[in-house]
Amino acid sequence: MKLLLIGAGNMGGAMLQGLHVNDITVVEAYPTRAHELQTLYPTIKIVSEIPPLEGYLVILAIKPQSFATLKTKGIAEGVISIMAGVSLEKLKSGIMAKHYIRSMPNMAALVRKSATSLCGDIALKDEAIDVLSSIGRCFWLESEKELDIAMGIASCAPAWIALVAEALSDGAVNLGMKREITYQYIATLFEGVGEVLKSEHPAILKDKVMSPAGTTAAGYAKLEEGKVRDSFIKAMEASYERAKGMSK
């Protein structure tokens, strides 16, 4: 199926890294950005206006506030939206298609390591996963409520994890370690632990690392004293409530 990417900013541009080998047309209104993309991907077709949608699987990667002014003609084979806060109901009222998918990638799409949530019409599920797998791993969810919950895990948590990384670095620097090595160390640490967590339950991993009266236990006690676990749970709740509000 032919792909039509509407919007090639940060996320849309990240998707092009994996999608440029397909039969894809990119809608990019800004000449400077269009020239940049054509230089990076000489084989793709770039247009300044949206063509008729017939025969296309459309990927909507525009800003949510731009969706209300989107002008299209025809009926697409399917629509995959990566716009935050635009519900399936709103999608169906704003662009014509046979099937609809709502998805939520995260910023790790820039390195093709996104944890991407998606939900919508089962008929488009396999094709949507095939497309979105170009930027990382996909997680099919049963409802938009689950998608809004997953926004906290996949889309918001990178910022929270970055906060943890910065705090760990600050702690190490405070004790005398050089800043530049701490960031490299922490990035490698997160990458390794993430790989282990694919097959290891978090509680089991924690117990394996934490020996009685050891250094990990001492630090862990301080984290509990600071209510770190409670803060993350409340952060998830706040993220979900905001996501619900955006979708109304």
Q: What is the pLDDT of residues 29-85, one digit of tens each?
A: 889 999 999 999 998 999 999 999 999 999 999 988 899 899 999 999 999 999 888
Tokens of 199: 């097959």
Ordered domains of the chain (ranges, CATH): 2-141 (3.40.50.720), 151-247 (1.10.3730.10)
- Report yes or no: 12 and 34 within 8 Å, Cβ to Cβ: no
Residue 75 annotated in ligand binding: no
Tokens of 64: 């949510």
Q: How far is CA 114 from CA 100, 139, 154, in A?
A: 21, 10, 8
User: What SS3 class is residue 112?
Assistant: coil
Over 37-97, what HEC string results? HHHHCCCCEEECCCCCCCCEEEEECCCHHHHHHCCCCCCECEEEECCCCCCHHHHHHHCCE
pLDDT band for position 245 (cuts 50, 70, 90): confident
Residue 11 annotated in ligand binding: yes
Q: Calculate the CA dihedral of residues 157, 163, 167, 168 and round it to 10 degrees.
A: 40
Lowest mean pLDDT: which of 67-71, 174-178, 241-245? 241-245
Q: How far is CA 43 from CA 16, 17, 22, 117, in A?
A: 12, 12, 9, 29
Residue 10 annotated in ligand binding: yes
Residue 18 annotated in ligand binding: no
Residue 98 annotated in ligand binding: no
Exposed e or buried b per residue across 108-134, where buried means at least 16 C-beta atoms within 10 angstroms of its C-beta: bbeeeebbbbbbbbeebbebbbebbeb
User: What SS3 class is residue 135?
Assistant: helix
pLDDT band for position 182 (cuts 50, 70, 90): very high
Residue 61 annotated in ligand binding: yes
Strand partners, 103: 118
Element (H, E) at 116: strand 114-120
Residue 73 annotated in ligand binding: no
pLDDT band for position 205 (cuts 50, 70, 90): very high
Residue 8 annotated in ligand binding: yes
Res. 115: pLDDT tops 80:
yes
Residue 62 annotated in ligand binding: yes
Tell me the pLDDT of the chain averaged across its residues: 92
Of 137, 119, 109, residue with least CA distance to 198: 137
Residue 108 annotated in ligand binding: no
